[in-house]
Chain A
Amino acid sequence: MTFAEGHIAAGGAGEPGQQPAISLRDVRKQYGTGSFAVDGITLDIHRGELVCFVGPSGCGKTTTLKMINRLIEPTSGTILVDGTNVTLQRRVDLRRSIGYVIQQIGLFPHESVRANVSAVPRLLGWSRHKQRERADEMLRLVGLDPDRFGSRYPGELSGGQQQRVGVARALAADPPVLLMDEPFSALDPIARGKLQKEFIRIQCDLHKTIVMVTHDIDEAILMADRIAIFRDAAKLEQYDSPAAILSNPATSFVREFVGTERSAQSLGRATLGPDDLGRPLEVVVSGGLERASGADRHAGEDPVPSTVDLDEVVMALGADGRVVGWSTRDHVGGTGDLRGRIRPLESTVPIGSTLSDAMSRILDGDCPLLAVVQPDTQRYIGVLTLPLLHAAFRRSVAALRQPGRGSDDAVAHSYAKDVTVVGRQ
């Protein structure tokens, strides 16, 4: 599964029949008889999804996070992790099965880096050999040479290196779920930017279900598949993909909260480049296959899907290089007349448009695809989907966060790689 496809699952309703990885049902937390810190939150987090809880301080986002691994006990409501009610499990067993990363890092200063990383495997009673092997593997994953850093004490490491160890420690027992409480906000901006990007790379490989609390909407936009915006007492203002939240804020609170950040503005400034596009299989059709006929013949057969797998998409191009329509491999497979098997593609956007224009084209149309064309000749260049747009958008946010080094950084590479994979196979 690629990163981009992760977005499809995240943006849609999730795969039908598959239970969410984490499910909160009307969860409340009341301290004493006073007011509610969390007043009835209901929300699902899908498998492999990275969800950010964002909101002003005191909005209940951290309380909600800590109720998932029962560092805070809910007053009422149900929390399911993997379909199991968390309150029915022993606390220590629950926590050993959930990775946990905190802002203050919290490494054990009296243990070596290697011993820190193997903390949970040690609790789970793994053999020493396996613990060590796993610790070294995790250190390599977070970009620390185990031979160089393994036997050092945390006090000998920089803040950024320490939080790498913190992430390695959280991942060591391979938990399916990871909770992160402002994991990068105590780091200096350079270390933070680097770690955020590397974490995205790690998540691309591991596909953990991650809940991350942050007060930084830019960070959420950069990292999240979906963002939950909280207001007082964990009232959920909006829960959607970053691009949807930016382009279509549900309430004035969201608009205000998001609008002040630079990334919101970057959507209007950043433009669409050739690297942002997907390039599915192309077929050239010729002779008499007009858009209108395709549209007529196709109408009423299948509903247009809301998401597509670019591996399955086939683009139909005319001899002049313009888009005729699109279909999927199952539809155009075999032999015979292609007529009637091609869906029309009305919405196109010229390359070089702003991301926000492209976004509104996608959201306005009823097609999950947008053809990107040359502005003058209308010749086809590639396609754009919401996930690809997210990727392009994040790249621009990443570039924004590190002026002058954005274009060739690690994230850009990893996105570009994913885009190619999606487009060419």
Chain B
Amino acid sequence: MGGNNNPWFSLEFLRDPGQRQAFIHSTMEHIELTAVSVALGFILAFALALMVRRYPRFEGLIVGAADTIYSVPSIALFSLLLPFTGLSMVGPIIGLVLYTQLILVRAILDGLRSVPASAVEAAEGLGYGGVRRLLTVEMPLALPTIFGGARVATVSTVGQVIAAFALSHGGLGETLTVGYSNNLYKQEVVDAVVGIIVIALAFDVLILVIGKLVTRWNRIGRGATS
């Protein structure tokens, strides 16, 4: 690699302490933005899903709004947020959280709807209160679907973070754009892309494994009757 000044892929530039610092910082920021946004997004989506369950007439409105937001290009959305949030982390997080809603609200609703009606009726008949039934019967049974949605939402968020460079918090998106504007510095660009892919895969596998662990019951076939 030494002969070539600008190879496609090399970790050469990371030897420089300053560069390395910047790359690690970007990576950590990328992971942080993704994790925080998905976590907050999940809380918001859960609240919205419960609202839809309680007041079904809001479903069209909420899913429609999430749909509309999702169709706004991310750079445009972040730029729109700039006047309100400045260059703090709040801006990208708000944007990323909004993007997760389309997938997460639907996943939670679908998950809750996939719970066998018989289990719900039995829980009610045995004397489970509403909250307990939701937390100990319906949510656990909705988890396989919800985890599926969480994987898609997380991987998609890893991609969306890049556009947050518009608010100077783009994680590896920062590295990418800097490398790009820096005379198409291939090494930096490709390293950033590889980093993003690795982060996405790591999140995906992590959520997959957690999901399998908490829904072990789902791996054995559901019985003939139920």
User: Which residue in B121, B129, B141 is a CB contact (below 8 Å) of A104?
Assistant: B121
Q: Which residues of B contact A393 (CB under 8 A)?
A: none
Cα(A123)–Cα(B222), bound, Å: 25
Interface residues on A, range: 35 or more
Residue B190 CB within 8 A of the other chain: no
Cα(A166)–Cα(B121), bound, Å: 13
B91 to chain A, nearest CB (A): 39
Cβ–Cβ contact B223 & A158, under 8 A: yes
Cβ–Cβ contact A110 & B121, under 8 A: no
Cβ–Cβ contact A104 & B128, under 8 A: no
Cβ–Cβ contact A92 & B129, under 8 A: yes
Residue A169 CB within 8 A of the other chain: yes
Cα(A97)–Cα(B215), bound, Å: 31
A134 to chain B, nearest CB (A): 15
Cβ–Cβ contact B217 & A106, under 8 A: no
Known A-B contacts A71-B124, A155-B217, A156-B220; the reply to A109 vs B129 at CB < 8 A is no
Residue A186 CB within 8 A of the other chain: yes
Cβ–Cβ contact A153 & B220, under 8 A: yes
Residue B123 CB within 8 A of the other chain: yes
Residue B135 CB within 8 A of the other chain: no
Residue B1 CB within 8 A of the other chain: no
Cα(A109)–Cα(B141), bound, Å: 8
Interface residues of B in 198-220 (CB under 8 A from A): 215, 217-218, 220
Interface string of B138-162 (1 = CB under 8 A from A): 0011000000000000000000000
Interface residues of A in 88-136 (CB under 8 A from B): 91-97, 100, 102, 104-111, 119-120, 123
Cβ–Cβ contact B119 & A153, under 8 A: no
A146 to chain B, nearest CB (A): 19
Residue B224 CB within 8 A of the other chain: yes
Residue A157 CB within 8 A of the other chain: yes
Interface string of A70-91 (1 = CB under 8 A from B): 0100000000000000000001
Cα(A93)–Cα(B226), bound, Å: 26
Residue B221 CB within 8 A of the other chain: yes
Interface string of B106-135 (1 = CB under 8 A from A): 000000000011111111111111001000
Cβ–Cβ contact A95 & B127, under 8 A: yes
Cα(A174)–Cα(B217), bound, Å: 28
Q: Which residues of A contact B220 (CB under 8 A)?
A: 153, 155-156
Interface centre among A95, A108, A166 (most CB of B within 10 A): A108
Cβ–Cβ contact B225 & A105, under 8 A: yes
Interface residues on B, range: 20 to 34
Q: Which residues of A contact B129 (CB under 8 A)?
A: 92
Cα(A95)–Cα(B222), bound, Å: 27
Q: Which residues of A contact B225 (CB under 8 A)?
A: 104-105, 159, 162-163, 186-187
Residue B75 CB within 8 A of the other chain: no
Q: Which residues of A contact B218 (CB under 8 A)?
A: 109-110
Q: Which residues of A contact B224 (CB under 8 A)?
A: 158-159
User: Which residue in B122, B127, B215, B223 is a CB contact (below 8 Å) of A123?
Assistant: B127
Cα(A63)–Cα(B121), bound, Å: 14
A48 to chain B, nearest CB (A): 22
User: Which residue in B121, B132, B221 is a CB contact (below 8 Å) of A102?
Assistant: B121
Cβ–Cβ contact B126 & A100, under 8 A: yes
A122 to chain B, nearest CB (A): 9
Cα(A390)–Cα(B117), bound, Å: 38
Cα(A94)–Cα(B125), bound, Å: 10
Cα(A186)–Cα(B118), bound, Å: 13
Residue A55 CB within 8 A of the other chain: no
Q: Which residues of A contact B90 (CB under 8 A)?
A: none
Residue B63 CB within 8 A of the other chain: no
Residue B137 CB within 8 A of the other chain: yes
Known A-B contacts A92-B128, A102-B118, A104-B118; the reply to A155 vs B123 at CB < 8 A is no
Residue A69 CB within 8 A of the other chain: yes
Cβ–Cβ contact B226 & A104, under 8 A: yes
Q: Which residues of B contact A102 (CB under 8 A)?
A: 118, 121-122, 125
Cβ–Cβ contact A153 & B217, under 8 A: yes
User: Which residue in A69, A96, A97, A154 is a CB contact (below 8 Å) of B226?
Assistant: A154
Known A-B contacts A102-B118, A104-B118, A155-B220; the reply to A109 vs B127 at CB < 8 A is no
Q: Which residues of B contact A111 (CB under 8 A)?
A: 217
Cβ–Cβ contact A120 & B141, under 8 A: no
Interface centre among B124, B221, B226 (most CB of A within 10 A): B226
Q: Which residues of A contact B223 (CB under 8 A)?
A: 107, 109, 154-159, 162
- Which A-chain residue is minimally distant from B224 (CB atoms)? A159
Question: Can you name 6 A-B residue pairings with CB atoms under 8 Å?
Answer: A100-B126, A106-B119, A106-B121, A107-B226, A108-B123, A109-B141
Starting from the known contacts A109-B218, A169-B126, 16 additional A-B residue pairs (CB-CB under 8 Å) come to A95-B126, A102-B118, A102-B121, A104-B118, A106-B120, A108-B141, A110-B140, A110-B218, A111-B217, A123-B128, A153-B220, A155-B222, A156-B220, A163-B225, A179-B125, A186-B225
**Which residues does A use to contact B, with CB under 8 Å?**
69, 71, 91-97, 100, 102, 104-111, 119-120, 123, 153-159, 162-163, 166, 169-170, 179, 186-187
- In the A-B complex, the 5 residue pairs with the smallest Cβ-Cβ separation, listed nearest first, are A106-B122, A104-B118, A96-B127, A95-B127, A106-B118
